[in-house]
Structure 1
Amino acid sequence: MPVGGYYDVYVYYQIGANRTVGAPYTVHYYGGSVTSVQNQYSSTPNQGGWFLVGTNLPFLGGTAGYVELKNNTPDTLLVSADAAKFVLVAPFLAPVITQQPQPAEQSVTVGQGASFTVEATGTAPLSYQWRHNGVPLAGATASSYTRNNVEISDAGNYSVVITNVAGSVTSLDAVLVVNVPPTITTQPQSQAVIQGGNASFTVAAAGTAPLVYQWYFDGQPLADATDSALTITNAQPADAGSYAVEVLNLAGQIMSDPATLTVNAPPQIDEIRVLADGRFELQISGAPGQYVVEATPDVAGVVSWTALTNFTVTTTNFQYYDSETGLARRFYRVRWTP
């Protein structure tokens, strides 16, 4: 057949007394065959001619369709036809996409579902094969494709190849964006500072960018506290309390664990006494923690402090004994160390 399509098939024979009353004609075509029984005999002149033995039968272009004529009686008589002809009724139409995959782009959150649909015309049947990033998807052979419980790996380009007897066509890509809700990978940590010192809280989070941060103090949002780190300068007792941060993106939000800020009063030397052996005893008060005691012989001009000891205390009142003796004068100070 020069053109693939649907054909009506005819046979031709002349009228005559030697014709059969039931000649079976089997037409073989693309995908099947059909049998038609024709009465070739008649006593009336001019009853021969073209007889339709099959209608709308599909034939591929470039193939040779044929009609098979057999004897329908249990004798040895031969039956024949003088000619056969194939009349093109409608050519096969290659698939044409009338609507590219829709939606052309969609965004979903991990765990949700996503669907794409395409529309096409052409000679039936149309077959479909959806692809993800160019790789065929098993079982995705309908005009629509649905992916349930989407994972990160499902993000990418989706297209479909549509095929029929006349050819094939590939759609444009449709894009699936998979958004990941934020997760906190490093929680902010509690800390203690001396009054007047600085405190910093940090958080680390993962998820689809951009990530947005909002810090809270005792459950209330802090103005302009929208970074992954929060710094409190010159901390005062009023700053002590619970700090947390909310991390948001277009797929969701999550609140961090609370972190506690403790603001301790600075240590002070309440009393210095001279012992009988000439040593100095310092009575010190302050919050439990780590401290360093420093001394200098003079506070005039450029002062150079010398560390005498480092120690950790668990009470709010403690003593330090200076091992030096016979000093005319000495100045002391106590610092809290983080």
Structure 2
Amino acid sequence: MKPKHLSQRLLQAVLCLSFSTISIAPMAADTVEYPLKPITLVIPFGAGGSHDLNARIFTRVIPKYLNQPVIVKVMPGAAGQAGTSAVVRAKADGYTLLFTDNYRDQLQKYIEYLPYDTSKELITVVRTNYSPVSILVSADSPYQSLQELLDYAKENPGMLSLAHSGNWGAQFVPLLRILLHAEAHMTFIPYKGGGPAKQALLSGDVDVGIAFPSVALPLVEAGIVRMLASAGDTRLLPDVPTLTELGFDDDLGLMQRAVLAPRDIPPEHLEILRSAFSKLEFDEEYQGMMKQIGANTEYLDGSEYEKLRQIQSQRFEALVNNMSADNDSNNK
């Protein structure tokens, strides 16, 4: 009887092992077979801005490396919080991603209360590129240089109006820092993204606009606006000085664009996404379309950008700590 009892226990153990193997197998296959459906890319800014233009390009090309479409979902509101919150709350399966920038990702938390912490709840898939900000006025504006603009703003506080894509965003912060440096004041008017802010300048609702190359350069070439200065190491246009040349910080006005995912995304899914985006660096179709809109393609691997996120976050924290309370007059 004892041998029979041992055989039954052995049989039960074998059956349990078999069933557990069967239940585990589909899970292992699921982590490999990704993506199995379209991926949603959330943009927390308005349509028509530089993020939207950039996203429309890479989401057109990336499907050939993922074998699934990537659908752009524009979700502006609350200075980027609406779209960002949606991704933070999304299931961490790799089917909902965020396309944002370093200002929303690393600076905003030092300015206002947020119901999330992107540095803890989101992880980088890729930094698609960086983009230098440019300062624009209409083509018939009386201001021929940034210095002329700042001189007037200093002598006439609040008389000039500035359109931007949201408080403490990639358009807001560079101009604020410039105005603080010049001890000048403008009236800041927020819009739900770079697209609406651009339209405000074009329609004459505001005096000054901020834009990135993909938006600014076509307008300059068409003779619609005048560029007074741009950020970055090199000039965007031969006759337009950089902010560094004008005596401002060399890191002023550089926006880092990145695709982020919920941090608990399966590692296999994250690696598939990172691998797919890495191929854009050598994709002629992508490179050509980005060149057409005046945007660089300075790809940075997700793991490398994670290190840069930490450094930038510390610099933004220092920036906020160094700002005095009386500068709030520029935030209207």
User: Per the shorter chain, which TM-score range?
Assistant: under 0.3
Larger Rg: 1
Structure with bigger RCO (C-alpha 8 Å, 6+ apart): 2
**TM-score normalised per structure 1:** 0.22
| TM-score normalised by L of structure 2 | 0.22
Bigger helix share: 2
